Chain A
Amino acid sequence: MNKYLMIAPLALGIHLATAADDMTAEFKQMMDGSFESSGIADKHRLYQLDFQAVCSSDRMPSAERLKAIEAEQMKTIRWPSDGKYTGDWKSGEKIAISGRGLTWSDKADTTNGGGCYNCHQLSHTEISYGTIGPSLLNYGKLRGNSEEMVKYTWGKIWNAKAYSACSNMPRNGDAEILTEAQIKDVMAYLFDPESPVNKP
């Protein structure tokens, strides 16, 4: 699990030597005063993880910094407990379609979706897909199912930041958005030759 870099507006009141520090303190105070807990979305969600803070600018961090984050995030990946990487592609499709979960209007017992279609093209038939991420059409067909490719894909779904520090993609496993069983199903959706991702 990741460590929190706490927002501490009150603790920052003393040494404000530079304009940049001043701005940071004011920003933290603004954020702290502007949000409140709502439903399952507790206010502590506002506190940034270390890598979230580094990736919160219109400028990319240095290559060195990115590498360090990736190495750190790589340690969070949990490989399947039974050594099996794939489950049921039909259930995987449902997970890929569903964008539910973790908002303040969701319940604590809501089954989270992966929201994959929000950002990716996947199957040959679903035309309502987003373009923030790359197309994954024919994912398994184009890439094969070598151990290396399967492990890479599992890791990428579990924690995309291990491969690209400031990736837009959520950490589905690490942030407990999806369960291990759900990730297996999504894996099957990507790799199974019978899945509509690979079969027109």
Chain B
Amino acid sequence: MKTRPMMLALAVAAAIAAPAAMAEGSTADGIAQYRAMLAEGNPAELWELAGEDIWKEKAGPKQASLEQCDLGKGPGVVKGASAALPRYFKDTDRVQDLESRLMTCMQTLQGISPDNFVKGKWGKGEMEKMEQIVAYVVGQSRDMKINVDMSSPQMKKMYALGKKAFFYRAGPMDFACSTCHGEDGKRIRLQDLPNLTKHEGAAAGWGSWPAYRVSNGQFWTMQHRLNDCYRQQRFPEPIYGSDVTIALSVYMAKTANGGTVMTPGIKR
């Protein structure tokens, strides 16, 4: 992977630049400043570039590329695909988000088992490739409108299930998604929290993940983002590509409909 050394160098530079910017002026100003600075050069581009190569490379037991993968706009169409996900797919009879759909493509076209991801580790092995492919695909919807098709009964049902999951309180701390993301203008520490129950917040949140994270130099997919939310909620671990993660994605995407895709984003 030829882009790797450059990727690391950039990540290190970004990590060093961040605290310096934060130390000046008011904290919120500093953070806004450093976000603006980083937005000009988002290291996620390196994941995008690697992902485009992987998309076209022959891989897996079947030695096939993903170029015939149907992300909803027909085989091989990547442009605008993620702006319209999740969606209902007839061939699998499931509502799928980008990552669960990619698992389907990898399994059917390439013979790569979903176990590589469901039992995989973030940033390692096949999962690292998944992250790179995700970066590539979501980059191909940048600046488009979020546009999920809610007309099917399957999508309507997933929305209802997702909304229920969003408000579902459990665990030793009694938290739900709504505990942190149900009101306007709230923060955890200095981190602003989008209100995901309203269009504006959902567009900001859903529209800017997956993203590169400056604090740890990692690229996080939406599945990874949701996984870490549940970790901090003190829930058991959501299974990669499971229905709860897709239902929540439908809830957010529908609420965000009409907003702008800003992916891959860049985060603290």
Which A residues are within 8 Å of any B CB, using their own CB?
23, 26-27, 30-31, 33-38, 41-43, 45-49, 52-53, 55-58, 102-105, 117-119, 127-132, 161, 168, 170-171, 175-177
Contacts and interface: CB of A to CB of B under 8 A. Distances in A.
19 contacts: A23-B164, A30-B161, A30-B244, A30-B247, A31-B244, A34-B238, A34-B239, A34-B243, A34-B244, A34-B245, A35-B237, A41-B235, A45-B171, A55-B169, A56-B164, A56-B167, A130-B191, A132-B180, A168-B179
Contact of A118 (B164, B189, B231): B189
B231 A128 contact: no
A176 B171 CA distance: 12
B27 interface: yes
Contact of A41 (B163, B168, B237): B237
Contact of A31 (B168, B186, B197): B168
Interface in B153-179: 157, 160-161, 163-165, 167-176, 178-179
A52 B170 contact: yes
Given A26-B161, A132-B179, A171-B174, A127 B234 contact: no
Contact of A35 (B173, B234, B239): B239
B189 A36 contact: no
Determine which residue in B160, B189, B244 has the highest number of CB atoms from chain A within 10 A of its CB, and name it.
B189
B160 A102 contact: no
Contact of B236 (A35, A49, A176): A35
Contacts, number: 130
A34 B246 CA distance: 10
Given A35-B239, A132-B186, 20 more contacts: A30-B247, A33-B243, A34-B239, A35-B230, A35-B238, A36-B237, A37-B236, A41-B231, A42-B236, A45-B170, A45-B234, A46-B235, A46-B236, A104-B231, A117-B189, A127-B190, A132-B193, A161-B174, A175-B174, A177-B172
B116 interface: no
Contacts of A102: 172-173, 234
Contact of A175 (B167, B173, B197): B173
A129 B173 contact: no
B186 A131 contact: yes
A104 B236 contact: yes
Contacts of B20: none
